[in-house]
Homo-oligomer: A and B are copies of this chain.
Amino acid sequence: MEIETVTDNQKLRVAKKIEKMFGHIDPKLPPEMCPIRDIMALASDKWSILILLYLGYFPTLRFNRLKKKVYGISSKILSERLKTLEADGYILRKMYPEVPIRVEYNLTDFGHSYLQKLLDLTEWVQKYSETILANRSKFAK
């Protein structure tokens, strides 16, 4: 898997984006100016990513069904993540007070919008996962 050479022009564009993102990048500002860190922390959490992916695939999922999909997650963590994802506006929680109770989760449009960006990244990761794994074993020697 070959990586195309990165042109100086591309590097320049990237630098400009970063500069814009950080405002002024040089000053030794503390990270408080940067809610992005905080938001990315959730958005890039391993469980959250999987939850979003599954909700992107299945239009709606109930708690226990989702739990089975997100292999290995505990009830505690799942409900915790769901709550945070809901609070941030990525997903919607609908409760039906039946007996037994039924709760359904699905992505909001906002969550879908985010998922699309996230997918671009995970697709890149998947595309080059073998390269990375190969790099690792080469480095280990």
Contact = CB atoms under 8 A, between A and B. Distances in A.
A112 B14 contact: yes
A19 B125 CA distance: 15
A40 to B, nearest CB: 6
A36 interface: yes
Contact of A135 (B71, B87, B120): B87
A121 B113 CA distance: 11
B36 A136 contact: no
A53 B114 CA distance: 20
A129 B57 contact: no
Q: Give the top 6 A-B pairs by smallest Cβ distance, nearest first.
A: A44-B44, A89-B135, A87-B139, A6-B112, A18-B57, A117-B124
